[in-house]
Amino acid sequence: MARAGVTAERLTRAAADLADEIGFHNVTVSALARGFGVKPAALYAHVKDAQDLRVRVALLALGELAERAARALAGRAGKEALVAFANAYRSYAKEHPGRYAAAQIELDWETAVTSAAGRHSDMTRAILRGYDLPEPDQTDAVRMLHSTFHGYVSLETAGGFRHTPRAADASWARTLDALDAVLRNWPPA
């Protein structure tokens, strides 16, 4: 029997909060059940299995990140849009490390196309319209931007930049300057 007040949405949000606290890969149905004061079996009335729970957290994170990025992009174009999008991405990853990790999991095709993942690509392509890149260059630029953002925030949150006195914020700003310069001067095929 389902416990009163426990819903799939509450479980997903609690799992996302737990992921931010202990790491996405450490979230288990058992740990989540302890937080709700129930036996793990009680949660299966709301989620199919641990993988279903992981996917739900990923979808939540993708949606939250898309909303944050959309708000940051509103009314901006060109480099200003690039910087706003990048900063939204970076701040989300730093504030919600577990959710951010969840957003990186591979989703099956059907789930991916109905998720907010497509909004991320659409927003990146909207930024790139200001740089007038045709296909397939635009696809290459989308991949370059996402790879750069993900790589930077992954290294930063793992402590990879603590070995040097230069502030990570300063390097981030220069990275965004460099990305803007590359996009404005995209090499011909």
**CATH code, domain with 122:** 1.10.357.10
Total domains in the chain come to 1
- The whole-number pLDDT of residue 166 equals 95
Residue 146, domain extent? 8-184
| 70 and 122 Cβ atoms separated by less than 8 Å | no
| 126 and 175 Cβ atoms separated by less than 8 Å | no
The first and second tokens of residue 177, run together, are 């300057």
Residue with tokens 């989540």: 32
132-149 tens-digit pLDDT: 999 999 999 999 999 999
pLDDT > 70? residue 4: no
59-108 tens-digit pLDDT: 999 999 999 999 999 999 999 999 999 999 999 999 999 999 999 999 98
1 part of a folded domain: no
Q: List, in sequence order, the alpha helices (H) in 4-136.
A: 8-22, 29-36, 40-43, 50-73, 78-95, 97-103, 109-113, 117-129
| 93 and 100 Cβ atoms separated by less than 8 Å | yes
183 pLDDT tier (thresholds 50, 70, 90): very high
139 part of a folded domain: yes
- The whole-number pLDDT of residue 105 equals 93
108 part of a folded domain: yes
189 part of a folded domain: no
93 part of a folded domain: yes
Distance CA 51, CA 115 (A): 16
Half-sphere exposure of 78 toward its Cβ, with a 13 Å CA cutoff?
Answer: 2
Q: Average pLDDT, stretch 154-176?
A: 95
1 pLDDT tier (thresholds 50, 70, 90): very low
Short-list 54, 149, 151, 150, CA closest to 105? 54
3 part of a folded domain: no
124 part of a folded domain: yes
- The whole-number pLDDT of residue 2 equals 45
10-59 tens-digit pLDDT: 999 999 999 999 999 999 998 998 888 888 888 888 888 889 999 999 99
What region does 132 belong to: left with phi over 0, alpha with psi -120 to 50, or beta? left
